[in-house]
Amino acid sequence: MYNEATVIASVIEGLLPHFPHVVCVDDGSSDGTPEIARAAGATVVEHPINLGQGASLQTGFEFALSDPLMTDVVTFDADGQHLVEDAIGMVAKLRAENLDVVVGSRFLDDRTQLAPAKKLVLRAAALYTRITTGMALTDAHNGLRVLGRPLLEKVKLRQNRMAHASELIDQIGGHKARWSEYPTHIVYTDYSRAKGQSLLNSVNILVELLFR
């Protein structure tokens, strides 16, 4: 989370009835976000400076792995664009089908409304991932995922910024993980768009991938 003071409490309060162990990685916020998250009931791990989403995920993974009783991890964005019911369904699928990872996809149903240009860029990113990893994903840059502990122990993210999503898929494919997708609804609001869910951000993902 990075400067999510206006929404983080409601996100945590929505998760806690279903996921009692909510860990927030604060990526150098300056608006009191960590204090609000703690007051809402989350455990907070802090970066002293802003390092990026990839670095924050890796910090969260390492923190979760420090608990020997942890069995699986849900990655859930702090800006309120993910639905708790989707996360619940994904965890159930992972466990019922003995999978290593379940990846959310906004293209498996028609709930998520995308501008044509943004849809094109995200489809291009998915095609790039399919070519480079052999995984026939429909949505390679969906932040809602569930990873089991055995796979999580092998993941080492080095891309600090947005290209970490494709790096994570690269590693999932490289480890021959048992995977599946799950339909998710991404709720785009004026707030989430202002936080970086723009078409330009999607283009930046492709640029980062090419230079990686």
Q: How confident is the model at residue 210 (pLDDT cuts 50, 70, 90)?
A: low
| 0.75 surpassed by pTM | yes
* Residues 131-168: tens digit of each pLDDT: 777 788 888 788 999 999 999 999 999 877 667 887 89
Is residue 199 predicted with pLDDT exceeding 80?
no
User: Locate tokens 């400067």: which residue?
Assistant: 3
User: Where in the chain is CATH 3.90.550.10?
Assistant: 70-211
- What distance in Å separates the CA atoms of residue 155 and residue 212, rounded to the nearest whole number? 18
For the stretch 22-76, pLDDT in tens is 999 999 999 999 999 999 999 999 999 999 999 999 999 999 999 999 999 999 9
How far is Cα 75 from Cα 145, in angstroms, rounded to an integer?
A: 5
The listed range with the strongest mean pLDDT (25-29, 113-117, 126-130) is 25-29
Residue 130, pLDDT above cutoff 90: no
Phi, psi dihedral angles at 105 (to 5 degrees):
-140, 130
Average per-residue pLDDT in the chain?
A: 88
Distance of CA 167 to CAs 109, 111, 129, Å? 25, 27, 9
**Residue pointed to by tokens 């390492």:** 62
The arrangement of strands across the sheet holding 179-183 comes to: 72-75, 145-148, 101-105, 179-183
| pLDDT at residue 211 in the model | 59
Q: Which two tokens stand for residue 100?
A: 């290593």
Residue 208's pLDDT band, with cuts at 50, 70 and 90, is low
CA distance readout (Å), 50 to 160, 197, 201: 10, 18, 17
CATH architecture of the domain 70-211 equals Alpha-Beta Complex (3.90)
